[in-house]
Structure 1
Amino acid sequence: MGVERELERAIEELLAARSGTICPSDAARRVSSDGWRDLMEPARAAARRLVAQGKVEITQRGEVVDPDSARGPIRIRRVR
């Protein structure tokens, strides 16, 4: 399994285990506890792919945002 799919799976598993939101760093840390910082952009990309599939939403300050224009810290949640 490639790192892209591992990150998508980590996002889905973390969201299934929690009732709120997660940070992309949570998924990156799950995939690589030592090299998680290098996985931050790939984790954000994984979240964008899951948005395109209708599985998750990306938020900033609690509001759903366009994943392609979001800059700065984001959170990921299941689609409501």
Structure 2
Amino acid sequence: MSDPIEAAIFEKLAKADPKGVGGKSIEPSDVAKELQPEQWQRMLPKVKATALGLMRQGKLTITKKGKPVDPNDFKGVTRLRLPTPEETAAALAALPPKTDEDED
């Protein structure tokens, strides 16, 4: 994991949810504040974009009012948490199938 934003998200989640059961969540702004305390507002869109990519890969769940959001249509105040096995399976099923050309 070479992406510092991705690493910061999972470090924060490990502290909030040490058992990794997907129950506790964190705010994206907490991650942004940890990465750039002085200018965290500038970092927040990058944190959210990284979280969205992780959600599409089934590695993270973005929630609003405790419910998973549609990764293609959401806005407003959100939180991040580890996905349940069902959420991971659904995200992976939504990915386009790999072709032989993808293996280069």
Do these two structures clear the TM 0.5 threshold for a shared fold by scoring above it?
yes
Instruction: Number of aligned residue pairs: give it.
Output: 77
Please name the residue that 1:61 is paired with.
65
Q: CA deviation at 1:49?
A: 1.2
The alignment partner of 1:44 has SS state of: helix
> Higher relative contact order at CA 8 Å, sep ≥6: structure 1 or structure 2?
1
Higher alpha-carbon Rg: 2
| Structure 1, gaps ≥5 residues long | none
Structure 1 runs (4+) deviating above 3 angstroms are: none
TM-score after normalising by structure 1: 0.88
TM-score after normalising by structure 2: 0.69
Letter aligned with residue 16 of structure 1: A
Task: Output the aligned Cα RMSD.
Answer: 1.3
The alignment partner of 1:69 has SS state of: coil
What is the 5 A alignment of 1:1-80? Answer: 5-19=3-17, 20-80=24-84
The alignment partner of 1:9 has SS state of: helix
Please name the residue that 2:99 is paired with.
none
Percent of aligned pairs with the same amino acid: 35
Q: CA deviation at 1:68?
A: 2.8
